[in-house]
Structure 1
């Protein structure tokens, strides 16, 4: 199951990271529209983070190196999503900053690319032996 989660994190993080890095203005518009929805927009954004984080944590509970980074990333997403659901006004403040500063999406994109690359590294390190 952990390999499946590592594949999931690799694929989604690399795709989202590339999109954030190459299309930051489009992401700013998306966050502006979510922000305009008010608390329902914060709930939608938080729900996406919570769902993704919970899927990672459910399938990747290892705290052994190097996979611990993936597990930790999952827990951070769970915390982010839970925070948005329990304190939507705080989440809206964060979303407002994002739509005012598209360059922040580039930074987030680079971080996502790093997580995706780390997941690829985990897949490589834990690859089944063919000998």
Structure 2
């Protein structure tokens, strides 16, 4: 099961990371629209994070190196999702800070690093 989660993180982080890096202006618009939607926008944002985080943690709960990084990533996504659902006004304040193109590019680079880490975990498991 851990290998399936590593593939999931690899593929999704690669695609979303590349998208953040090369389509940053579109992500700025999406985030602005989610913010303008108010609490429903916070819920939608939270749902994406919660689903990904729960999927990662449910199949990759180990804390041994190097997979612990993926487990921590999953828990951080759950925390983000829970914040959006349980404290949507707080999530909206966070979303209110004008997301910039540079922030989305940086986020994309971070996701590409996560994809690389998942790839490393896959390679290490196959070795």
Structure-2 separation of matches of 1:65 and 1:9: 16
- Structure 1 93/8 Cα, relative in aligned 2: closer, same or farther at 3 Å? same
Residues 86-113 of structure 1: CA deviation (Å, up to 9, x unaligned): 11111112222244x2211011111100
Aligned CA RMSD, in angstroms, stands at: 1.0
Structure-2 separation of matches of 1:98 and 1:45: 16
- Structure 1 96/69 Cα, relative in aligned 2: closer, same or farther at 3 Å? same
Q: Are 2:13 and 1:13 aligned?
A: yes
In the superposition, the TM-score normalised over structure 2's length comes to: 0.96
2:33 corresponding residue in structure 1:
33
1:103 corresponding residue in structure 2:
102
For structure 2, list consecutive stretches of 5 or more residues without a partner in the other structure.
Answer: none
For structure 1, list consecutive stretches of 5 or more residues without a partner in the other structure.
Answer: none
In the superposition, the TM-score normalised over structure 1's length comes to: 0.93
- Structure 1 106/98 Cα, relative in aligned 2: closer, same or farther at 3 Å? farther
1:60 corresponding residue in structure 2:
60
Kindly name which structure, 1 or 2, has the bigger radius of gyration based on alpha carbons. 1
